[in-house]
Structure 1
């Protein structure tokens, strides 16, 4: 409903409160709750804030934050919300590092799988970290997102909502403004963001589909590795065999939790480590990196709440393994 009555104008999100109030769905909500009469153009921002909070159109934390910095104003006949404030590049470390690279033709950005004013989904290639892990590290997906925004001349505060391991490819969701980040972070906590993967694992599984329900914790003998342990955090992975090769299987996987290295740990726990995954016992041929790809990402859109699904095309290693087979 809300998406029909808002529009971006530079840094401002403009809300046509009068038209929204006439919407039958909103009127029904207003009559059933404590929503006050629609504020008149020019009325005090405090009254506008009260109406916005009562209507529950946006997170209350965000509305109060905007009000505290003068970010609720009348823009003609519409309510203006300072939702798309540009980053001060001189003060933002990622943008400072990305600014030089953005001028270079050789600085490529991974494929954009989805984009609007609120969200950006990039197709992360294997071998590219999502974010810097040490001082001075550049060339991450976060840097690529900033380069993309700079080239669009729209330096918004892009922030990743979830991560992928360095050697895993697939879609990564970014919020492009504080409003989207608040809503998507909550959706992530409530497990309303769904991620589906495809992997090549060693050997042939005994069952065509199943569930791995095994807690995961740190391996005290290896700083980078995780392991199944009764004292670990709850972790649940659903899997289904999609194709069998000579000495490997192609498996579709869905995470019910999001533990570090979850798929890699669980498949190794079953005795079928990922091809190329040396850390968890996977064979190093024919791949030199773990054979894991994020195939599909689903999330509720931060403005409309409508389900949004993004698919990432299969990488070359997967196409090569499968040949003419598809699923």
Structure 2
């Protein structure tokens, strides 16, 4: 674990054993895997100091060196207008924030006029605390899906988490209610997903689509429907919804993919989010309580999933 202290706009790290002998260049490019363009920006704008002086990016660090990185309050103004919504925070520190997304809310604006999205609400939340951050979503949830969703508070955290997502190092667990009784209590749906040429928003299983892998485990049966825990190896649009519809068990409430309209939305909730903290390296696990009123999921403790 990398210990650090916030000092105004700067993050201070006393060089730990794991950094000894490495250069700032090594840490940015190989340790954090920050993109070349962003690394160049930090170098050219002198946003890294070592022992109070402008960093020599090619000089090996010595155990105990004070490294300061200017991460906070020095980014360009956000183009996302703030929008007030009392959204639940599941985890927060100086670098990342995890929200419990409500239903019927987009993750981000799809049109220039969109305001009531989670990204806008996140911007309002930070500004109301006096934080001058350009918040960045790391992944997304469908408009009518609820649950845990991860945001970065600054560009370095965002770049590191983007890379983790690409490498499938951020684990997302969902709970769904699907129609009917599942023949297999545990399995994997490995079917490529592509666009439906006959519908602007639908996706479908297609041999020319992108690889998509959904793992699932039966939890319980209620009123002829099955509660299913799902965890993804890929993150395709509508992935869980498409996969279960494809095997004949559409999500309850998901009328777009053949589900019965028993609820106002599809019965899908992102219950748990697991990731390695981009700066400290510690393992973070967030559980998202159910927030539907009236409730959709009954008799389930999210902390056991």
Q: How many Å separate the matches in 1 of 2:298 and 2:205?
A: 30
The structure number with the bigger radius of gyration is: 1
Q: How many Å separate the matches in 2 of 1:303 and 1:272?
A: 41
Aligned residues: 287
Query: Match of 2:164?
Result: 187
Quick check: 1:265 aligned with 2:265?
A: no
Quick check: 1:151 aligned with 2:128?
A: yes
Compared with structure 1, are the counterparts of its residues 247 and 118 closer, same or farther at alpha carbon in structure 2 (3 Å cutoff)? same
Query: Match of 2:7?
Result: 9
Query: Match of 2:114?
Result: 137
**Contact 2:178 2:249 (8 Å CA) reproduced:** yes
Give the superposition deviation at 1:71: 1.6
Q: 2:202 aligns with which of 217, 221, 225?
A: 225
- Secondary structure of 1:289's aligned partner: coil
Quick check: 1:208 aligned with 2:185?
A: yes
Q: How many Å separate the matches in 1 of 2:214 and 2:296?
A: 26
Compared with structure 1, are the counterparts of its residues 321 and 15 closer, same or farther at alpha carbon in structure 2 (3 Å cutoff)? closer
Relative to the length of structure 1, the TM-score reads 0.81
Quick check: 1:117 aligned with 2:94?
A: yes
Q: How many Å separate the matches in 2 of 1:325 and 1:173?
A: 21
Q: How many Å separate the matches in 2 of 1:271 and 1:321?
A: 21
Q: 1:311 aligns with which of 287, 296, 304?
A: 287
Which structure features the higher share of helix residues? Answer: 1
Determine which structure has greater relative contact order: mean sequence separation of CA pairs < 8 Å that are 6+ residues apart, divided by chain length.
Answer: 2
Compared with structure 1, are the counterparts of its residues 26 and 14 closer, same or farther at alpha carbon in structure 2 (3 Å cutoff)? closer
- Secondary structure of 2:120's aligned partner: helix
Q: How many Å separate the matches in 2 of 1:171 and 1:254?
A: 13
| Structure 2 unaligned regions, length at least 5 | 53-64
CA RMSD, aligned part only?
2.2
Q: 1:93 aligns with which of 75, 79, 84?
A: 79
Q: 1:66 aligns with which of 34, 42, 56?
A: 42
| Structure 1 unaligned regions, length at least 5 | 36-50, 102-106
**Contact 2:72 2:132 (8 Å CA) reproduced:** no
**Contact 1:52 1:63 (8 Å CA) reproduced:** no
Relative to the length of structure 2, the TM-score reads 0.87
Give the superposition deviation at 1:82: 1.4
Compared with structure 1, are the counterparts of its residues 53 and 252 closer, same or farther at alpha carbon in structure 2 (3 Å cutoff)? same
Give the superposition deviation at 1:314: 2.3
Q: Output one character per residue of 1:28-82: Cα deviation in whole Å (capped at 9) or x when no partner.
A: xx3xxxx4xxxxxxxxxxxxxxx31245554463443212112223574843321
Q: How many Å separate the matches in 2 of 1:325 and 1:177?
A: 33
- Secondary structure of 1:316's aligned partner: coil
Is the deviation greater in 223-232 or in 161-170?
223-232
Q: How many Å separate the matches in 2 of 1:122 and 1:321?
A: 19
Query: Match of 2:72?
Result: 84
**Contact 2:101 2:146 (8 Å CA) reproduced:** yes
**Contact 2:267 2:296 (8 Å CA) reproduced:** no
Compared with structure 1, are the counterparts of its residues 82 and 64 closer, same or farther at alpha carbon in structure 2 (3 Å cutoff)? same
Query: Match of 2:57?
Result: none
Q: How many Å separate the matches in 1 of 2:195 and 2:26?
A: 45
Q: How many Å separate the matches in 2 of 1:271 and 1:176?
A: 41
